[in-house]
């Protein structure tokens, strides 16, 4: 088990404290110092007596720290943070600004093993899973750099549900009242469609909002764009989503990246409507963001409007996400792509 105290839920800290022969309430104090006060050194856990702090340090316990290695701001308000991990791995998080809402898009893996053909992160392949401390730590580091965050989406580098345990633990940590206390409705986990993991999440005692990266209205096209669809085709995926919605009682978001001439016709919009109309949902349309080595092009404003009209016309709440952060390679599907040398 990890010796990183930041990587433990309150419950896990309680087990550790009790095993040391001390009172259980000390766990709450350790958790608060790390996740609310931002303490990153065992010696600074001043609510513990010196002997306990010395014992923890001697036992190899530590508090990990995530340092920002680069910060790039786009004129549209988007800010991308790059972090270099202890083992040299690189991850990125992006602040997206929409009025008062300031959403941090965080990473869950170094690289990604899902191989979606339109995605720059997928080309990096999976290097490793992040720990819960590294996932939640992105929120703390970005806030420490002066950004105010109201919402967190697990939509950066990596497939969150392929790193299920750490992602769920980080949701618990970020949501904990004694910690950062992000409301559960302000935490969204996005997935490319690992159906069994969606069902598993439905069975948990905590339900973040769910977003599905859909991107195609037929199995044939989706399997071409997202290999995961060959394993869990649309029917299997959408049945799992229905189960999640039944348990979580929350609206689901369907993300749809529009690629010129591939998935952006009015007819395909009609097919998308048929797939999602049974859900209490919103559809998020995102223009594809080009990156080196990828043959696709974005759909353009007119085509996106035509597509959105069809979906909206069917009574489904539809948002069009403007291209944000593309000049700093912070746009959707661009994380990990070679950015500007600045």
Q: Shortest Cβ distance from residue 170 to ligand SF4 (Å)? A: 17
Q: Does 122 bind ligand SF4 (CB under 6 A)?
A: yes
**SS3 at position 68:** strand
Residue from 9, 64, 93, 121 binding ligand SF4 (CB under 6 A): 121
Cα separation of 324 and 329, whole Å?
Answer: 9
Of 12, 40, 92, 287, which one is the catalytic site residue? 92
What would the two tokens of residue 198 be? 């969606």
The residues in 174-193 that bind ligand SF4, with binding defined as CB under 6 A, are: 192
Q: Which residues of 107-133 are buried (b: 16+ CB within 10 A; e: fewer)?
A: bbbbbbebebebbbbbbbebbebbbbb
Which range of residues in 92-100, 112-120, 173-181, 296-304 is near ligand SF4 by CB under 6 A?
112-120
92 assigned to active site: yes
332 assigned to active site: yes
Q: Which residues touch 125 (CB under 8 Å, ≥6 apart)?
A: 111, 112, 113
Q: Does 56 bind ligand SF4 (CB under 6 A)?
A: no
Give me the phi and psi of 168, to 5 degrees please: -65, -40
**SS3 at position 304:** helix
What would the two tokens of residue 268 be? 């395909």
Asked if residues 218 and 265 have their Cβ atoms less than 8 Å apart, the reply is no
What x-and-dash track marks residues 143-162 binding ligand SF4 by CB under 6 A?
--------------xxx---
What x-and-dash track marks residues 208-247 binding ligand SF4 by CB under 6 A?
-----x----------------------------------
What x-and-dash track marks residues 61-100 binding ligand SF4 by CB under 6 A?
----------------------------------------
Closest CA to 288 of 265, 273, 304, 272: 304
Residues involved in catalysis: 92, 332
Applying CB under 6 A, the residues found at the interface with ligand SF4 are: 112, 114-116, 119, 121-122, 157-159, 192, 213
């Amino acid at each position: 088990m990890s010796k990183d105290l930041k990587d433990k839920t309150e419950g896990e800290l309680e087990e550790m404290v009790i095993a040391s022969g001390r009172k259980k309430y000390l766990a709450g104090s350790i958790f608060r110092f790390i996740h609310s006060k931002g303490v990153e050194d065992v010696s600074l856990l001043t609510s513990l007596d010196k002997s306990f702090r010395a014992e923890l340090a001697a036992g190899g316990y530590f508090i990990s720290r995530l340092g920002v290695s680069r910060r790039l701001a786009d004129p549209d308000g988007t800010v991308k943070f790059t972090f270099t991990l202890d083992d040299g791995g690189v991850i990125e998080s992006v602040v997206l600004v929409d009025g008062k809402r300031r959403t941090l898009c965080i990473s869950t893996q170094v690289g990604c093993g899902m191989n979606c053909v339109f995605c720059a992160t997928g080309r990096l392949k999976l290097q490793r899973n992040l720990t819960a401390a590294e996932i939640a730590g992105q929120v703390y580091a970005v806030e420490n750099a002066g950004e105010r965050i109201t919402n967190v989406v697990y939509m950066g580098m990596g497939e969150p549900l392929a790193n299920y345990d750490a992602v769920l633990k980080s949701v618990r940590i970020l949501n904990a009242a004694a910690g950062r206390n992000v409301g559960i409705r302000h935490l969204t986990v996005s997935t490319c469609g690992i159906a069994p993991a969606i069902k598993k999440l439905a069975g948990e005692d905590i339900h973040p909002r769910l977003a599905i990266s859909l991107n195609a209205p037929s199995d044939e096209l989706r399997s071409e764009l997202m290999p995961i669809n060959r394993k869990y085709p649309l029917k299997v995926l959408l049945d799992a989503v229905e189960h999640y919605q039944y348990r979580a009682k929350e609206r689901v978001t369907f993300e749809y990246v529009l690629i010129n001439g591939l998935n952006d016709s009015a007819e395909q919009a009609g097919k998308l409507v048929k797939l999602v109309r049974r859900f209490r949902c919103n559809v998020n349309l995102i223009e594809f963001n080009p990156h080196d080595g990828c043959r696709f092009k974005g759909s353009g404003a007119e085509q996106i409007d035509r597509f959105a009209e069809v979906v909206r016309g069917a009574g489904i709440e539809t948002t069009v996400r403007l291209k944000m952060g593309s000049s700093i390679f912070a746009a959707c599907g661009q994380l990990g792509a070679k950015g500007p040398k600045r």
